Structure formats: C-alpha cells, structure tokens
C-alpha cells in the first residue's frame, strides 16, 4: 500500500467529514455568541422583578441599620415634645438620628402622639429604648389641642399630674427608696423604678452602684444620685435556707446551689467563703459578688 492511499476517501466519507466540520464550526459559534444573545434578549419582566427585589432589600437593610443604631444606650439631657420639636431639637435632647427621623416621619404621615406610649409604635423605639426616654417625653399643651385628650385617673377622673423631678445634687438611699421616689430622678421612669426595686429585692440590697449595669442602667448617669449603706443588705443565710430560696438569688445558679448542699451534707455547716472557693462551680467573679451577701451564722 502506498502512503497516498491513506488519504483517499470515498464519496460518502467525504460528505460525512464535511458535515462533521460544519457541526464543529456551528458549535464554536454558539459557544462564543449565545451568552450575549441570551443577555440581550432577557425577559423585561425579569429585569423589573430584579429591580423591585433590590429596592426591597435596600429598604430592609435601612430599617435594620436604623434599629441597630437605636439600640445603643441613650443619654437624654432634656425633655422633648414629639408633636412639635424639629429633628435638630430631638437630636439635641439626646435622641439618636434614627429615632428623631422616625418621629418626624410618623408626624409627616399625619400621625399624632396622644400619649407617651404612642412612641412605642415606632420601629426604632423598642422595649429597651422606651424606658430610657419615658421620663423625658412631654405631650405639651394638651388642653389647647383638640386632637389631644388629657390623661385621666380611672378612679377619681381627674387629670394625672406630671411627676416632679428632684433637683441636681439630691442624694437618696438606694437600698430603702421606693418606686415613687425613684421616679423623681431624671432618667428613671416607671419601668426602671420597678426594675430597680425588683432586682434589689432579689439581691437583698445593693452594695455598689456598679450593679446597675446588671439591669442595663448607666452607672455614670446615676451614680451621683444615690448613697448605699451596706448594713441594709439582707444577708443570705447559706446554712439555713432551703434549695429553692438559695436558687432565687441572681448570683447563684442550679449547679452552684447543688454544690453548696453537697458540701453541707459532707462537712456540716459552712464556716467561711473559703470553702466555696475550692469548689470548681465557683469562679473568682462569683465569689467576689457573693462575699457581700453570704452569712455563715
């Protein structure tokens, strides 16, 4: 066989080879140009949906950013009127930009703040923010505004009085003050007054103003208002109280109370806090906190 015989094709083979070449060329063309054709002929409704979706996501992200900004602790310096004050006045009073803008937006849509709790309707004012601003909200000129109704006492049907705040420099005893007196301190409304008393009762009394951090109160804002007498603290009688009573204390958890009872069962009465220090359930922070409450009588 001669070498030129290797390149000889019959008529059918030549046609087949030609068709194969054409198919390869068509495939290369489609691979190069089809993606651009697909993009240029995209369904217009799909583009509209994409735009609407991106707008929706953008608005939601803006709301999330506003809520995140509103969650910071506020330090208000003066009272504000949500029905009258401008955005700048609201910010100057100590509100964040997000909350101030939210208050204005509600007004621009025809909303009216008829009572202080109406501000809780705003998405930037949650259960953490509202107690911080409650004592500073003023719904002024209620009698001269026909769209605002005065608040009435349900039993006497007389308008409720604004709580008179204490003068700067006044000092009250933290471990004996009731909610009525606590509400007279600027920055403390009904919510936090009740929260302070409830937490004080659980503890047995405060030994330092720094414990306010444990109930989300600003220590720097309130430290000049209080005096603390450690002798007023109700001691936690570790050798006498039952399991449930010990477990109610904020500084003791289930495992720690269980360890105390095991220790009492093995060694009898606990004589000193040093016996708790050697237990793995008690870290240094817990021991330091309990030192002010435990009684070994």
What CA–CA distance (Å, rounded) separates 29 from 33? 6
Choice among 20-24, 60-64, 83-87, 168-172 with the minimum mean pLDDT = 60-64
With bands split at pLDDT 50, 70 and 90, how would you rate the model's confidence at 47? Answer: low
Ramachandran area for residue 216 (φ above 0: left; ψ -120 to 50: alpha; else beta): left
**Average pLDDT for 80-95:** 88
With bands split at pLDDT 50, 70 and 90, how would you rate the model's confidence at 147? Answer: very low
Q: Is pLDDT larger for residue 204 or for residue 112?
A: 204
**Average pLDDT for 251-267:** 94
Q: 59 pLDDT exceeds 80?
A: no
173 touches 231 (CB < 8 A): no
**Average pLDDT for 203-212:** 95
In sequence order, what E strands does the chain have?
172-173, 226-227, 236-237, 294-295
Q: Is pLDDT larger for residue 158 or for residue 233?
A: 233
What percent of the chain is predicted at pLDDT more than 70? 75
**Average pLDDT for 227-235:** 92
Ramachandran area for residue 12 (φ above 0: left; ψ -120 to 50: alpha; else beta): alpha
What CA–CA distance (Å, rounded) separates 166 from 164? 7
Please name every residue paired with 269 in a beta bridge, in sequence order, or none if there are none.
none
Taking Cα atoms as reference points, which of 252, 251, 188, 196 lies closest to residue 228? 196
Taking Cα atoms as reference points, which of 267, 293, 131, 121 lies closest to residue 200? 293
Written as six digits, the tokens of 4 are 């030129």
**Average pLDDT for 91-111:** 86
pLDDT in tens, 3-27: 555 556 677 777 888 888 888 888 8
**Average pLDDT for 253-261:** 94
Output the average pLDDT for the chain. 81
pLDDT at 227: 94
Give CATH for domain 57-136: 1.10.150
pLDDT at 125: 86
Let me know if 285 is exposed, middle or buried by CB neighbors in 10 A (0-12, 13-18, 19+): exposed
Virtual torsion, Cα 114, 115, 116, 117, nearest 10 deg: -100
pLDDT at 157: 46
What CA–CA distance (Å, rounded) separates 88 from 262? 61
pLDDT at 16: 83
Residue spans of alpha helices (H) in 188-250: 190-203, 219-222, 243-247
Choice among 106-115, 143-152, 169-178 with the minimum mean pLDDT = 143-152
């Amino acid at each position: 066989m001669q070498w030129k015989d290797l390149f000889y094709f019959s008529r059918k083979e030549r046609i087949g080879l030609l068709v194969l070449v054409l198919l390869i060329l068509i495939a290369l063309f489609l691979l190069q140009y089809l993606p651009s054709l697909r993009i240029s002929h995209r369904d217009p409704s799909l583009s509209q949906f994409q735009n609407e979706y991106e707008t929706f996501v953008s608005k939601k992200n803006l709301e999330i950013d506003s809520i995140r900004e509103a969650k910071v602790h506020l330090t208000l310096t003066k009272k504000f009127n949500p029905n009258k004050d401008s955005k700048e006045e609201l910010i100057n009073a100590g509100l964040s930009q997000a909350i101030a803008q939210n208050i204005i937006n509600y007004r621009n849509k025809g909303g009216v703040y008829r009572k202080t709790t109406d501000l809780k309707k705003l998405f930037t004012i949650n259960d953490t923010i509202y107690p911080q601003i409650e004592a500073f909200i003023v719904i002024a000129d209620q009698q001269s505004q026909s769209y605002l109704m005065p608040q009435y006492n349900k039993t006497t049907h007389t308008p409720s009085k604004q709580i008179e705040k204490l003068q700067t420099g006044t000092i009250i005893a933290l471990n004996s003050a009731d909610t009525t007196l606590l509400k007279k301190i600027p920055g403390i409304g009904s919510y936090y007054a009740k929260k302070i008393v409830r937490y004080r009762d659980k503890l047995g009394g405060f030994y330092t103003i720094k414990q306010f951090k444990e109930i989300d109160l600003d220590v720097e804002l309130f430290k000049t208002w209080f005096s603390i007498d450690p002798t007023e603290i109700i001691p936690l009688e570790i050798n006498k109280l039952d399991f449930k009573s010990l477990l109610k204390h904020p500084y003791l958890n289930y495992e720690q109370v269980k360890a105390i009872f095991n220790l009492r069962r093995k060694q009898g009465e606990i004589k000193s806090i040093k016996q708790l220090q050697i237990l793995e359930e008690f870290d240094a922070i817990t021991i330091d906190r309990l030192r002010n409450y435990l009684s070994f009588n």
